[in-house]
Structure 1
Amino acid sequence: MSGVSVSCAVVIAAFNEEDTVGGVVRVARSFTPEVIVVSDGSVDGTVGAAREAGAEVVDLAVNVGKGGALHAGLRAARADVVILLDADLTGLSAAHLETLCDPVRRGDLDMSIGVFEGGGFVTDWGNKLTPHLSGQRACRREWLLAVPDLAAERWPEPAITRHLKATGARWAYVELPNVAQVVKEKKRGFWGGAKARTKMYVSLLTYRARRRG
């Protein structure tokens, strides 16, 4: 694919992320004009913050989960390659997006998966402990749309990992220096964040059992 120009879009699923989504969008817009934020039933100012920062917004009336939100964003995207980003990132730059996108755009990889490095102890540790659950990825849009159960999964990363193995896709982890996430406990308070984190990991870790059932 050397020498061939391949377009790239950014898709961001966001649920009540008014404080951070604008910053993520502005960085994404410095990399590509096609930035799509899917507000997953947000009840705060997420939609307004994303639009003000220059994103195209898909505003879902109810919360369907990250998988459904990403599926809606992929359907709205037009580019051949998409970068998936979480809406609560800090320390992000256009160079990080190039690091994610370039191996896929060149045809060297089918998917790149971003892993935090040097962004902060909590997010570095969590990301490195379970790098296969990272929300920062680049891949061909049509491949992602073909992932079974993508729209049905509240947390779609295990479904994506399963499809990587099933299709024999070429993938690799890439480091994203100085990038971090705002932890759930900071956004929702300690108990609210701990509850949300527990529900997330239960959903992620029971994926295989639920799909076998």
Structure 2
Amino acid sequence: MYHEQVLSVAVVIPAFNEADTVQQVVSAALEWTREVVVTSDGSTDQTAEAARAAGARVIELPQNVGKGPALKAALEAASADYVVMLDADLVGLTRAHLDILLGPVLSGQLDMSIGIFDGGGLMTDLGNKLTPHLSGQRACRREWLLSVPHLGEERWPEPAITAALKEQGVRWDYVELPNLKQVMKEKKRGFWKGAQYRTRMYIDLFGFKRRKKRAEKGG
């Protein structure tokens, strides 16, 4: 297995109200590595308890502050050289998916791999392929990810990671994750609440460049 070639690999999972799926994600990750860290981002359901019962180390944030701060908290709690970042609402995760993500990084081909769903379901495949740069399934060195500017300040960390990839000339590419999907927000929260949540998410995501420029100007 790829992960046996290095000192250590951790799986980090930011989670907000994902009690229905986080246990399965943690269980699959623990078949592959001993270090799995879940940050419960102010969850009001049983996310923390489900993740802990599955065997993960759990960091509990008292308030919902966003995926960026939750990811950073998990990275800081981990001790591994390499990390695989996963969403907590995945369905169908296996050890093979984790090897696909980490393999190109360990071989030296890439500095970061970004996973794209393939064959997991029409809607999740379509959404992932339309906005692949927003995928939450990634692998890289933990030290590099922690160094990404604004990572812990952004509610959604993916745009900050994308900016760092481009600005630093980091080698990255997409890898296909067959038969993997995630639960749609409209299904988790109900159609209208899910649609509203998704709209707010995209507004926040696409406002990153504006916030970044303002921060660089000191205001």
The TM-score bracket by the shorter chain reads over 0.9
Partner residue of 2:196? 195
Q: Distance in 1 between matches of 2:90 and 2:133?
A: 17
Instruction: Flag structure 2 segments of 5+ consecutive residues without an equivalent.
Output: 215-219
Task: Give the CA deviation at 1:128.
Answer: 0.2
Identity of aligned pairs, percent?
64
Partner residue of 1:152? 153
Q: Distance in 2 between matches of 1:4 and 1:75?
A: 23
Partner residue of 1:136? 137
List aligned pairs for 1:76-115, cutoff 5 A: 76-115=77-116
Task: Give the CA deviation at 1:5.
Answer: 2.4
- The answer (yes or no) to whether the contact 1:8–1:101 under 8 Å persists in 2 is no
Q: Distance in 2 between matches of 1:28 and 1:4?
A: 17
Alignment RMSD: 1.0
- The answer (yes or no) to whether the contact 1:6–1:105 under 8 Å persists in 2 is no
Partner residue of 2:217? none
SS at match of 2:149: coil
1:78-120 deviation line (CA, Å, top 9, x unaligned): 1100000000000110000011012112222110000000000
Instruction: Count the aligned residue pairs.
Output: 211
1:141-177 deviation line (CA, Å, top 9, x unaligned): 0000110000000001010000001111111100000
Partner residue of 2:31? 30
Question: TM-score, normalised on structure 2?
Answer: 0.94
1:35-60 deviation line (CA, Å, top 9, x unaligned): 00000000100011001111000011
Q: Distance in 1 between matches of 2:6 and 2:155?
A: 34
Partner residue of 1:116? 117
1:190-211 deviation line (CA, Å, top 9, x unaligned): 1110111001100111111222
Task: Give the CA deviation at 1:4.
Answer: 5.2
4+ runs deviating over 6 angstroms: none
| 2:20 counterpart of 1:19 | yes
SS at match of 1:159: helix
